[in-house]
A and B are shown apart, each in its own frame.
Chain A
């Protein structure tokens, strides 16, 4: 595909990019998995990849790992152009569709084999296992591991390669809170040392906690790519739950706030208790509501979004991207 002329500032930015994709398309037979995807991921950035099932996330992650080649478009990883399958440069690690471990081998054996394939010794294995909290099961066979332990071992395998680009597909699957904390700590630590981390997840809380930027995919196209804060800001109205001291008075006050809608139970398909008020509006409108409630002597005991802002943005953008248009096209 043709390229736009690059300015000097583009060049400087280019140097710091771990991933630079322009117009990437990939089809499997009649199925279009990716359609003109542009993506920039800076080094040291944790970048989230979200989208509904079938949006093309796994295909994109596979391209980044070198498992497939794009039909069209330009892809540069760590500054090197990638044109063929398995031709990605050194310094890329990760997994798609599970961590790919051998159950008949122990944790240590799984990692040692990978280290040997890279021509390394087994020096870093203990440290990698320590980082993901699996030191005490280093010599246990993976056969008996839970899903969360396998995920963490998969991450340890990736760490072993000292990656500069880490690509992870649903790394939080099956993790308990302790495991999640371990993984978060590892990923943020890697990013702080300059590693770019690309992760796909359906868990918005993980993405919100980890990612500085996200890319939303729907039907193979990018519907948003940028900072999480920008994504949230672009989502105009959010649903909030307020726990108040006087629900009847609060409801009256809320009804008078311009731009605010009081929600009934059915709107959210969930129950609320008697002390709860559900409303939908922009952040500024919500500020106005709180001021009015305080002025009216209604105590506000709790205020929280019903759906996390990132999730709300995801739902709004992906729904818009997949809703049939007037002439019936997707």
Chain B
């Protein structure tokens, strides 16, 4: 026997250091081919898609900012952002966070990992941080690729905002970056839900798809005519709240509420996951999650949190109903029309005019006199009027509005011909899309309903 063998060791050896534990988890994640494939797709895909689409004559006008993809490189990353918020980011959180605990169950490596790390707490933190790192890498890849693709294919040009005002390239860059940063909060929330599902359901495939299922449910919920306080309390609202950043002045309420709600959910879901994880009996080889554990340890607390969130938002914003009414649409449409009219004037080299000189106003009506002027729908009809300097005549134009429950609308012009009758206008540099023929707008849902 050697001398070393009889040395009395230190009782209760220390856990493995934090950095190697984190690095180990990161190594395991990055060694998986689905993760590598996702990284490749996120860092290359958006750039290629934006570059190709922006060169085509037919643009995705039904997607926010899609109609401007050929005019500025900053529209592309916003199109990617719109699509990512709905599907890609939740799916990526499923792939990474939804599997990070379950994979140890599938491989039967929990005991090995516990013996090596000697601290369930450290294992949890390392796994959570590693999955967060990979998710951030994926999200940053989506943003960076979209931006590079857009700027390379179209260029660093001004971007038309959601109220028609023109953002200079620098302003557009800032707004795009802030918009992408804002969706990191709901991405974190979905990642935390993924961790919770992965911890609670063990090797069951249900754990893997929980963020994706949640995204699907929330997508459906956003299409329903929910009260505004319920809508903005949903974590998915932060995926669309960034739209308000592209108005002047910026509608920061939705994005701030969305980010706050998402961060609260992220912390709560991560805490529940931690609690479940620390209570797990790792000597039980037959452990495979349990329905009761999920219900009591995850679903009920999160449902309670949602109810509290709705109550807090209701008290803080005094918003009610759908958040959509004629007064908000009147102001939003008039503002957007004024900005876009000025842009059209400049494109056509007509005498310059300012929004103040135009004195634009709008009057919106939903479905005729028998229907109240509130709520989403494609039956909004608005009359826009404006004045030109030095002329006593009052111009007017009609727009059909398709208003989504989330506050986004598409305004489709219906004459006069010289204003919004054609989808293109002739400029000195060639035909370009007519900014007044069809455009997107957004109203601030959480602000109180205005008197109509």
**Chain A interface residues (CB < 8 Å from chain B):** 15-16, 28, 43-44, 59, 62, 65-68, 78-82, 84, 86-105, 109, 113-114, 116-119, 164, 193-195
Output the nearest chain B residue to A194 by Cβ-Cβ distance.
B5
Query: 9 smallest A-B Cβ distances: which pairs?
Result: A100-B112, A194-B5, A80-B11, A194-B1, A117-B16, A89-B9, A116-B20, A104-B31, A87-B12
Contacts of A105 in B (CB 8 A): 27-28, 31
Q: Are B118 and A116 in contact (CB under 8 A)?
A: no
**Chain B interface residues (CB < 8 Å from chain A):** 1-2, 4-6, 8-13, 15-17, 20-21, 23-24, 27-28, 31-33, 107-120, 282-285
When chains A and B are docked, how far (Å) is the Cα of A99 from the Cα of B16?
A: 19
Contacts of B283 in A (CB 8 A): 28, 59, 62, 67-68
Contacts of B114 in A (CB 8 A): 67, 86
When chains A and B are docked, how far (Å) is the Cα of A19 from the Cα of B8?
A: 13
Q: How far in angstroms is the closest Cβ of chain A from B32? A: 5
When chains A and B are docked, how far (Å) is the Cα of A101 from the Cα of B110?
A: 10
Output the nearest chain A residue to B19 by Cβ-Cβ distance.
A116
Q: Are A44 and B1 in contact (CB under 8 A)?
A: yes
Given contacts A80-B12, A95-B111, A117-B16, could you give 19 more A-B pairs where the C-beta distance is less than 8 Å? A16-B1, A43-B1, A59-B283, A65-B111, A65-B115, A78-B9, A80-B9, A80-B11, A89-B11, A100-B107, A104-B33, A109-B27, A109-B31, A113-B27, A113-B28, A164-B4, A164-B5, A193-B5, A194-B6
Contacts of B119 in A (CB 8 A): 86
Q: Are A117 and B5 in contact (CB under 8 A)?
A: no
Q: How far in angstroms is the closest Cβ of chain B from A90? A: 4
Q: Are B111 and A89 in contact (CB under 8 A)?
A: no
Q: Are A117 and B9 in contact (CB under 8 A)?
A: no
Q: How far in angstroms is the closest Cβ of chain B from A79? A: 5
Q: How far in angstroms is the closest Cβ of chain A from B227? A: 47
Q: Are A62 and B111 in contact (CB under 8 A)?
A: yes
Q: Are A90 and B10 in contact (CB under 8 A)?
A: yes
When chains A and B are docked, how far (Å) is the Cα of A89 from the Cα of B12?
A: 5
When chains A and B are docked, how far (Å) is the Cα of A11 from the Cα of B113?
A: 35
When chains A and B are docked, how far (Å) is the Cα of A24 from the Cα of B33?
A: 45
Q: How far in angstroms is the closest Cβ of chain B from A212? A: 14
Output the nearest chain A residue to B23 by Cβ-Cβ distance.
A116
When chains A and B are docked, how far (Å) is the Cα of A116 from the Cα of B12?
A: 19
Contacts of A16 in B (CB 8 A): 1, 6
Q: How far in angstroms is the closest Cβ of chain A from B121? A: 10
Contacts of A119 in B (CB 8 A): 16-17, 20
When chains A and B are docked, how far (Å) is the Cα of A319 from the Cα of B31?
A: 48
Q: Are A28 and B111 in contact (CB under 8 A)?
A: no
Pull 25 A–B residue pairs with CB atoms less than 8 Å apart, ordered by A: A67-B111, A67-B282, A67-B283, A68-B282, A78-B8, A79-B8, A79-B9, A82-B11, A87-B11, A90-B9, A90-B13, A91-B9, A94-B115, A97-B285, A98-B108, A100-B109, A100-B111, A102-B107, A102-B109, A105-B31, A109-B31, A118-B116, A119-B16, A164-B4, A193-B1
Contacts of B8 in A (CB 8 A): 78-80
Contacts of A113 in B (CB 8 A): 20, 23-24, 27-28
Contacts of B120 in A (CB 8 A): 86
When chains A and B are docked, how far (Å) is the Cα of A43 from the Cα of B2?
A: 10
Q: How far in angstroms is the closest Cβ of chain A from B448? A: 54
When chains A and B are docked, how far (Å) is the Cα of A86 from the Cα of B16?
A: 12
Q: Are B5 and A44 in contact (CB under 8 A)?
A: yes
Contacts of B33 in A (CB 8 A): 104
CB-CB under 8 A for A118 and B16, given A95-B112, A164-B5, A193-B2: yes
When chains A and B are docked, how far (Å) is the Cα of A171 from the Cα of B251?
A: 65
Q: How far in angstroms is the closest Cβ of chain A from B387? A: 68
When chains A and B are docked, how far (Å) is the Cα of A87 from the Cα of B14?
A: 8
Q: Are A66 and B108 in contact (CB under 8 A)?
A: no
Q: Are B116 and A89 in contact (CB under 8 A)?
A: no
Q: Are A99 and B107 in contact (CB under 8 A)?
A: no
When chains A and B are docked, how far (Å) is the Cα of A117 from the Cα of B112?
A: 12
Output the nearest chain B residue to A84 by Cβ-Cβ distance.
B12
Contacts of B6 in A (CB 8 A): 15-16, 43, 194
CB-CB under 8 A for A103 and B107, given A89-B11, A119-B17: yes
Contacts of A67 in B (CB 8 A): 111, 114-115, 282-283
Q: How far in angstroms is the closest Cβ of chain B from A28? A: 7
Output the nearest chain B residue to A119 by Cβ-Cβ distance.
B17
Output the nearest chain A residue to B115 by Cβ-Cβ distance.
A65
Q: Are B107 and A195 in contact (CB under 8 A)?
A: no
CB-CB under 8 A for A102 and B28, given A86-B114, A86-B118: yes
Q: Are A117 and B117 in contact (CB under 8 A)?
A: yes
Q: Are B12 and A100 in contact (CB under 8 A)?
A: no
When chains A and B are docked, how far (Å) is the Cα of A65 from the Cα of B12?
A: 12
Q: How far in angstroms is the closest Cβ of chain B from A92? A: 8
Q: How far in angstroms is the closest Cβ of chain B from A201? A: 18
When chains A and B are docked, how far (Å) is the Cα of A84 from the Cα of B117?
A: 15
Contacts of A28 in B (CB 8 A): 283-284
Q: How far in angstroms is the closest Cβ of chain B from A285? A: 41
Output the nearest chain B residue to A65 by Cβ-Cβ distance.
B115
Q: Are A102 and B20 in contact (CB under 8 A)?
A: no
Contacts of A194 in B (CB 8 A): 1-2, 4-6
Contacts of B113 in A (CB 8 A): 100
When chains A and B are docked, how far (Å) is the Cα of A241 from the Cα of B329?
A: 99
Contacts of A81 in B (CB 8 A): 11
Contacts of A87 in B (CB 8 A): 11-12
Output the nearest chain A residue to B1 by Cβ-Cβ distance.
A194
Q: How far in angstroms is the closest Cβ of chain B from A265? A: 41
When chains A and B are docked, how far (Å) is the Cα of A118 from the Cα of B118?
A: 10
CB-CB under 8 A for A43 and B9, given A98-B108, A109-B31: no
When chains A and B are docked, how far (Å) is the Cα of A93 from the Cα of B6?
A: 17
When chains A and B are docked, how far (Å) is the Cα of A195 from the Cα of B109?
A: 25
CB-CB under 8 A for A43 and B108, given A67-B114, A104-B28, A116-B24: no
Which residue of B17, B24, B32, B285 is within 8 Å of A104 (Cβ)?
B32
Contacts of A164 in B (CB 8 A): 4-5, 9
